[in-house]
Structure 1
Amino acid sequence: MSSEEGVGDYVAVSGQGLAGGEYETSIQDFVNSHPSHEFSWGLGDIVTAVLDSALTLTSLREYLYINDSPPFANMITSEGRWSLPPDQPNMPQMFSLTARK
């Protein structure tokens, strides 16, 4: 998927909702003038690319919520985080990965 608007300031949109982060207001009304291109890569593809690059995987965490905008209908929000309703089976919505050289 491509977007001429580019990636917005999802950090500012999430504000205090980012896990483990301290938030300070910075640029106001940010507008990205560069187009963005998004791809759907499987978690296995990403981890394999990290390992094939001779990096050492140091952490991989999955989160049952997502910041910014909900990818599914009927999601509920709390403090900038979106998650599936309690009456639906839950699944990870995003992940974090760290690696070192």
Structure 2
Amino acid sequence: MTEPGAVGDYVADSVDLVLPGAPGGGIANFENPFPSCEFNWSIAEVLGALRRAGLLLESFDEYPYVNGWQGFEEMAELGGKRWRVPAGRPELPLMYSLSVRLAG
């Protein structure tokens, strides 16, 4: 899916969530001239690509919230730029993290 609106500096915008106290701030007045291209890859596709690249999975975790993205109006804010499915609805993973290392 391609959208004409560009992605901003979401890494710099999330540094306080991901790495509290880390130096940074991103690029001042960053403007991305490129359209946003989104892909719908399954977990199996991601893990298969890592395996084919010769990487070994060390950890995989799922989270019932997402950092810095309110995908739908109904999403509930948890504070600190984190959003989750509204109360009273079934929880589902909205974000995951993984760490890998080179095989051998």
Place the TM-score, normalised by the shorter chain, in its bin.
0.7 to 0.9
From the superposition, tell whether residues 73 and 26 of structure 1 become closer, same or farther in structure 2 (CA, over 3 Å): closer
1:33-81 deviations in whole A, cap 9, x for unaligned? Answer: 2233211011111111111221111111111111122223411111100
C-alpha RMSD over aligned residues = 1.9
Alignment of 1:32-47 (within 5 A): 32-47=32-47
2:87 alignment counterpart: 86
| CA distance, structure 2, for counterparts of residue 73 and residue 43 of structure 1 | 26
1:75 alignment counterpart: 75
Native 8 Å contact 1:56 1:99 kept in 2: yes
Instruction: Quote how far apart the aligned CAs of 1:15 are.
Output: 5.1
Gap runs ≥5 in structure 2: none
2:56 alignment counterpart: 56
From the superposition, tell whether residues 100 and 71 of structure 1 become closer, same or farther in structure 2 (CA, over 3 Å): same
TM-score, normalized by length of structure 1?
0.81
| CA distance, structure 2, for counterparts of residue 12 and residue 53 of structure 1 | 28
Gap runs ≥5 in structure 1: none
From the superposition, tell whether residues 76 and 15 of structure 1 become closer, same or farther in structure 2 (CA, over 3 Å): farther
| CA distance, structure 1, for counterparts of residue 12 and residue 56 of structure 2 | 31
Higher RCO structure (Cα 8 Å, ≥6 apart): 1
| Count of residue pairs the alignment pairs up | 99
